[in-house]
Each structure stands twice: as C-alpha cells, then as structure tokens.
Chain A
Amino acid sequence: MSKPSDFVQGTLDVLLLKILALEPLHGWAISQRLKAVSGNVLQVSEGSLYPALHKLEVGGWITAEWRPTENNRRAKFYSLTASGRAALREQAADWERLAGAVSLVLGINESAS
C-alpha cells in the first residue's frame, strides 16, 4: 500500500454516503466521523472533503440545507437523497463482492504456499 490515497479517493464517495445514511451532518462533523470510523488506515485528507461533498450534491445523491448547530451557529447540513440511498446500496454491494473476492484470492494463496 504505497499509495493509499488512490485507493481512498475511490472509496471516499461511498464512505460519505454511508456516514450520511445514519444522520444529516455538517462538514466538520463528517470529517470527525470519517476520522473515527477509518482511523489511520484510510487517510482521508480534510483538504479534499468539500469538493467531494459538493460533487455529490450537484450529482443529486445528497442535498444540503442550512440549519443551526447545537451551539446555535449556522451550518450547512448534508443529508442523503433517495437516489443517494440507492447508490449507496449498489456501491456497498459492489464493495462487499470485491472485498470478498479479494480476501478469497488472498486466502487461497496463503494456504497453497
């Protein structure tokens, strides 16, 4: 894993969708959540969070609305749309298939040697 970011880039969208599937969140909260769920394995840079969010918004997978935070500050909250939910299901299934296939292949290799 010399270049984790490449790998991460492709997965960022699906991670964001997954996080937002639980509840509507603003960007800061999303970044905190990302850090929490992926730890140090997936080095999600805060520096690429917003373009990804905006892309998903323009793409219609998520929508945004301005709401007050717990500290009564205005923040932009993102939530999943119906098509976002569908996309998440699709991509999650894809991931599982891929992950299953990869671990299967890796497993075979190990027992053979």
Chain B
Amino acid sequence: MKIARWVSSVPLRVRTLFSKQQVERELDEEMQFHLEKKIEELVGLGMAPLDAKRAARKVLGVERQMQQCRDVRAWQGWERLRADVVFGWRQLMKRKVTTAAAVLSLGLAMGSCVAAFRLIDALLLRPLPIAHPERLVVLSRVGTDSSGAPRSYDTFAYPDFQLMRAAAGKDADLIAVSPADRYDLTYKTDEEMEKAYVQYVSGRMFSSFGLQPALGRLLTREDDVTPGAAPYAVISYDYWSRRFGRDPKVVGQTFRMGTQMFEVVGVGPKDFTGTEPGTVVDIFLPTMMYPDVTRDDASWHRTLAIVAPGVELEPLRAKLDAVSHGFEVQRSKSWTGMSAEQIARSLNDRMLMTRAASGVSELQGDYRNALVWLGVLVALVLLIACTNVANLMTAVAAARMREMAVRVSLGAGRGRLVRLVMAESVMLAILASVVGGVLAWWSAPMVVRMINPADNPARLMLDADWRVMGFAVLLLLAATMLFGLVPALRAARLQPVSALKGGEEQQGRGHGMYALIATQVAFCFVVLFLAGLFVQTFHRLENKPVGFDAKGLLLLETESGHGQTPEAWGQLAETLRGMPGVKQVAISGRPLMTGSWNGPISINNGPPSDDWSYFLNVAPGWLGTMKLPLVEGRDFVASDSFPGEAIVNQEFVRRFFHGADPIGKTFEKTGGEDQKLIVRVVGVVADAPYRYLREAPLGVAFVPTRRVNAKGEVMKDSGETLLVQTAEADPMSMAAEMRRKVAAAGAGFRVSNVETQQELIDNQTVRERLLAMLGGFFAGVALLLAAIGLYGVLHYSVVQRERELGIRIALGAAAGNIARVVTVRVMLMVLLGAAVGLGAGLASVRFVQTLLYGVRGTDVSMMVVPAVVLLLAAGLAALPAVMRAVRIDPVVMLRSE
C-alpha cells in the first residue's frame, strides 16, 4: 500500500522537478485565490481594505505555507542536490582558469594512476581465466650462487617432473609448461617460414584448468604419455583470429617446425592466452614433442600445479622437494667436470611453492618492481595534485567566508554548507576523471609499446575489467575526500560572528594551508629524488662503454636445415661481402648479449673451477668486425678449431690466470663427454658485455666456430649468426636484400631472424628508459604542481595581508624586508617539506636499489640536485607574490580601508 502510494506520487514529484515554474504558478494562484476570499470576508466584516490585506496575509502565513507546500511536493534530496550542483557549477565557472588548472592537474594525476594500475592489473593481479586460479601454484628452487648471493630457478627437467607428479598423487595436478618462445614454422614450404609464439604444455593442462575448446579438441592426458608420439597442436583463439581469420577449416591443417610435422587439432577458449602475462601464445604443443623431454640434464619447463581443495601447501611442498632432491642426488652422480662446491650448492637448493593465480612470466619478474614504483610516483603526484586543489578550495572557501557566514546566520544547516562545498569538489573530481579516463585509455597501451623489444613484442591483455573500474571509482572517491573534505569541514566549523567580523579565524586557516605546502614539497621531493635516480641509472647504462662498436652492425641469424661445413658458411659470408654497402662480414655462433653458454674449466689438470667461464664461437675476423680490440696475441685463423685454440678476455685472465700472461697457456673446458676439450690461449681481448649490460664483466673464452669431434672430423653447423658491418646509418634498411641474398646462396641457407646489435643493447635498457622517461615526466608534473600550489598560497597570503604590508611599507620597510616577511613562513615550510621528503626518499631507496645501476641513493649529488631544483622552483613561484607585495602602494591601500 505504502509503496503503491509512493509510486503514484512519482509523477507529481517529477513534475515538481522538471516543470518547476508551472508548479510554482499553480501554487501561487491557489494561495492568491484564498487570500482574495479572505480579504473579501474581512472587508465584509467591516475592515479597511488595506488592513484586511495585511491581516489576511498574516493569518494565512502565505510565504511559510508556500514553502511548506514546496517541501511537501519536492523530492527534497533531488531538489537540494540540483540547487547545489547548479550553484557549484556557477562557482566553478566563475573561476575558469583555476578550475581548468585543477581539473587538468587532477585529471593528469588520476589518469596516470589508473594507467599504472591498468598495467599492474594486467601483468600482476588479474587471475588467469581458468577454473580455479586461486588453486594454481608454481614451483621454483632457491639457493645461493658461488658468491653467496641468492639465486633461483624455475625450470625443471621432465623426468624430475614425472617423479614429482607421481608423488603429488591426488593432492595436486602437476602441469609442465615451457616458457613461450618464438619459433620458425611453416604451413607450406620453407620459403614461407613464419614466426609464432609456441608454448609446450602438458596435455592435461587444459582439463586441469577447466578449459573448453572454441573449435575441435584440446590436448589431453593421452598426449602426455609417449615421447614424440603426439604431433598435435592447439592454437590460441587470438592466433586463430589473427592468422586464420577464424576459418573453421584450420582444424586438420598441418605445419612443420624444425623437422617435425604437427597437426592443428583445435582452437583454445577465447580468453586463454597461455600462462605468461605479457605473452600471447599462438600455438600450444604437447610437452611430449619437446626434443629434450626424456633428458634428465635439460631443465626447460616450469612446473605449475593445481592443488586439490583442502590440501595444505607445506606438506605438499616438502614431499615434492624430497622427491626432486632425490632426483638431483641421483643425477649428480653422473656430473663430471663440476666442482664439488658447485654440486653441494645445487643439492642444497630448496623448493618453493608460490601462489600464481595470475600466471608466471619473465615480464612479471622484470617489471614487477618497476611498475610498483611507477605506481608510487604517480600516487605521489596525485597527492600533490589533491593538495593543490585542497589549497585552492580552501582559499576559495576563505574568500567566501562571509557568504557562508550569512548563510549560517540565515539558518542554513551545517550539513547543507558541507554539501555545498562538497558538490563543487565532486564536480571537479568528475570532470578530472573524464580527463583522466581519456589519458589512462591512451597511455597504458603506449607504455606497453614502449617496453616492447623490437623482436619480442610483449602483449598485455589490457581489457578494462571490474578491478580497473573499481580502482578508478575508489580513486575518484579518495581524491574527492582528500581535497574536498578539509574545506568542507572548515565550512562546517564556521563561526558566523567571527567570520562576519573578519576575525581571528584566518590564523587557523593559514596553518592548514602551510601544513599542506610542507606535505606537498615533501611528496615532490620524493618524486624528484626517485626520478633523479632513474634518470641517472638510464644515463649511466646508456653511456656505458660496451667495448665494441655496434654502429652499422646487422645480425642475420641464419639456419641451414641439415648443417653446413665452416667452409660453406665462410663462402656465404664471402657472398654477402660482395654486396654494395657492406663493409665487413663475420660469423659467430650467436650474437653477443643473447643467451649464454657456460661451464667450469680446469687449468693445469686442476679440479673443475667453482667459478664458471662463458663461451662463444666466433670465426676469424669477428673481433675486427665487432671492433673488439685485441690486447695481446692474435686473432683466429681459418685452421684454428675448438678444441684447439681460444681467445680470452681480460676478465678471464684476472679470474683464471690471476693476471699472469696467458698467451700459450692451456685450459680444459670440463664436462666434455668423449673428448677432452683442451684449448690454448692465442689472444686476449678487451672486456665487453657478454649477457647483460648491467652485470659486471664475466670471464669469456672465444673459441672458433670450426669444431672438431673426438675423431678429428670437422663438424657441420645448422645455425650461425652472420655479423654484417654495413655503411648504412640504419642497417635494417638492408635486411630484406640480405635475406634474399642468403636464400639465393642455396644449400638450404635461410635467415630466421634479423636484428641490429644496437637493438640488442637498447633492449636491455628498455625498463630503465621507461622508468627514466616516465619518472622524469612525473617529476616535471610534480614540480609544476608544487610550484603552482606554492604560488597560490603565497598570492593568497599577500592578498590577505595587504593592509599589514601597506602599513609596513608606510612605516618605511625596505623591499627586502617585505619580501622576507612575505616568504619566510612559506620558505620554512619548503625546507621542512624537503627535509621530510629527503628522509622518506632515503628510506625508500633500498627498495628501489635493484632498479638502479651505477648510482646510489646516498650519493650527495642525488640529494642536492632535487633540493636545488625544488628551491629554485619555489623561488620562482614566490616571485609574483613578492612583486605584488613590494609594489603595494600604502596610500592607495590605506585609503581604501
């Protein structure tokens, strides 16, 4: 009944809301009618018309009744909200510039926050689209390396995995997944090779994850049984869409990868892109088809597990650890050529079991810290922006103090005042969130593009899900609270009498604003400090001498199906050498700064070294092409071979020969199966990064590409990298021609990948570049916002103190004195804020240390530069207010009072 009546009243109330004037007219007419009748009656009783009119109005209480009627008819909440919104909007529009500044700065900060969250969500938080992501765990092993530093592995050998899977039994379903990698494959002929992201997975993965095929079938447990007997492939929905245009006839197609044919048996579910955030898998192959699946000395896949409901993790972990440890002990018996310490350390490794609801990928490891710190930076920028707007609103509210006081005096409730101020804040926040939303939409994919190495495009699923939306809404609320609540509460505390008198309240208000300034400066300092560290890190890495010259170097990773002799490879190089624009061509096993080949060595028949040497096959002339300077001895010649000769770097000499002249000395690469890999050092080269730009030099031994086996036969190679030194500024411009030339050389030569050496270097500073660029950008924004905030507060305080300053000037205060009076308090706040910021920055620096290179947070310059920049900005921001104060004309000033 009640509800029905309420519903029936809706049209009336809506009418009140939207046909306000009509309703008002009717109300007026109704009262007027009654009033006239009343006057008639009173006049009839003998009253004078004028008196009758007055008396009638009084008896009726026209105004009061009408207001009560309006209240009855109106949706009070709506009505007031509408009034507040209209009023607030008018207030905002009155100050277009400040409103725009507030909206832009807030929008920028909020958009950056949401963008950062989108990235963090996509990479680290979003659960895999599988049945029970909360039950997914990943296994890894942790221990220490030869220097005692912690190390961890998350790859396992398949036989080890089989033992663990059997041991887990019903407690958990173990799943092997290889890291997704780019492979060459073809659906037609060798001439039409293409690349695809391939992930080897246990067939059981699909059923364990509760996945359903979009087409055909998925891999099953039956595909996990016999090595080499499951030549089936499931393609991802994304690949199906991109590569095949969702052609249902894809099922049954075959492709060749290496020498193995695979048949596409089905298409995976729509959202499933593999287990690695950052990589969208194209093709899933059964682990049984991995070439090394039966080897106990090849650790190549991750081990995931879906833990059964109610199973405790720790006992399961202990059980798997024991089984895996048993496997390692068994395996270690056949380890030759490894130092005893090395073996002991390996057997000491402990297994970890970590929840992995959002999958596991290298990108996560590389960017977890970086993204979180970017998030911290943008959050600080947001706080600065909020502080600014809070200050702005406070100043505006102060200017409206009299108006507010009048409202209170006239009976406006405090709640109503709070709403009035909050309505403005909410509108500001909503406007800002529109700006921010656009920014977040556009910037998150841009950041992903920035972190993309050319050859290995990361693809993050950046769909806006409920987490991103929720975050945005929470952010909006939090920001509004942050900058809106203080002025609103201040309005509520208002004492009308003192405000109307322009009394002592201003003192208290000043305190709040100055405290906000200090806070702002502290945040700003932290942002500047961290950004400075990131920029410096990138600068150091970018300008780090690499020891060779990457200019004009094009790298052709080339294959030849059945292998070719070193002579044939040499001829191929010769062919390219004849091309116009080519200065030099050399051959190596693979490019520097990709992958690694390492192992212990033995000198003078000593025990295998605990410290490992790193190796790279290079052909004669490679050193010269790389411009890697030979310090001593000679380059390889065509007759040099491995085993036989080696050229080592200076670090190798330091580590293994303790600085003694190594030319002519020999060492053995231990662990050779049926032959002793003994080499004689013929040359020494300067140090150059072997794997990573960031790491300290490694001991590297270069050995010839010409390899001989135990019988003395020269072995064929199926893949080498042709290092082409071009005269071009952009070596890539020659890539297509090179490909054709290599293919035309016949003998099955085929370029599988082209890159430049410079790209390989740049790829290793992608994260640093990202942090430096975004850090620098946010530092700029933070500085700008802080300066604006400072300017605003100073300006406001000068306006407030104009009379006092005028009197001072009248009494003969010098300009310097006035400047000091105006700025001293703010500058104290700036110093206080900077000091607090410095403390916070130093406290945070140990958490960012892993992201830094060649720079320490405690370096004096890293603290001085932000401080100086901040003070300069503060000085600049203070200038207009000081000018204004100094130029106050006491005569004009005092007369106007």
Chain A positions within 8 Å of B, measured between CB atoms, are 26-28, 31, 45-51, 54-55, 57-61, 66, 73-76, 83
Contact = CB atoms under 8 A, between A and B. Distances in A.
**Taking chain A's interface residues, is the majority helix, strand, or loop, or is none over half, making it mixed?**
helix
Interface of B: 1, 4-5, 8-9, 12-13, 26, 29-31, 33-34, 37-38, 59-61, 64-66, 68-69, 71-73
Contact of B73 (A27, A31, A54, A75): A54
B5 A59 contact: yes
User: Which 4 pairs from chain A and chain B are nearest by CB?
Assistant: A51-B68, A47-B61, A28-B37, A60-B8
A100 to B, nearest CB: 26
B30 A50 contact: yes
A58 B72 contact: yes
Contacts of A61: 5
Given A28-B33, A58-B72, A60-B4, 16 more contacts: A26-B33, A27-B33, A49-B65, A50-B30, A50-B31, A51-B68, A51-B71, A58-B12, A59-B5, A60-B5, A60-B8, A61-B5, A74-B29, A74-B33, A75-B30, A83-B4
A92 B308 CA distance: 69
B69 A50 contact: yes
Contacts of A54: 68-69, 72-73
Nearest to A28: B37
18 contacts: A31-B34, A46-B59, A48-B65, A50-B30, A50-B31, A50-B68, A50-B69, A51-B69, A51-B72, A54-B72, A55-B72, A60-B4, A60-B5, A60-B8, A66-B26, A75-B33, A76-B29, A83-B1
Contacts of A26: 33
Given A54-B69, A55-B72, A60-B5, A47 B30 contact: no
Contacts of A76: 26, 29-30, 33
Contacts of B31: 50
Of B5, B26, B31, chain A has the most CB atoms within 10 Å of the CB of B5
A47 B26 contact: no
Contact of A46 (B4, B38, B69): B38
A47 B37 contact: no
A24 to B, nearest CB: 15
A76 B29 CA distance: 9
Contacts of A66: 26
A35 B642 CA distance: 122
Nearest to B61: A47
Nearest to A56: B72
Contacts of A45: 59
B59 A47 contact: yes
A27 B9 contact: no
A31 B38 CA distance: 10
A46 B60 CA distance: 6
B384 to A, nearest CB: 49
A45 B69 CA distance: 15
Contacts of A55: 72
Contacts of B5: 59-61, 83
Contacts of B38: 28, 46
B189 to A, nearest CB: 82
A66 B31 CA distance: 13
Contacts of A28: 33-34, 37-38
Contacts of A47: 59-61, 64-65
Contacts of B13: 58
Contacts of B33: 26-28, 73-76
B655 to A, nearest CB: 92
B702 to A, nearest CB: 93
A73 B66 CA distance: 21
B65 A50 contact: yes
A51 B26 contact: no
Contacts of B65: 47-51
B68 A27 contact: no
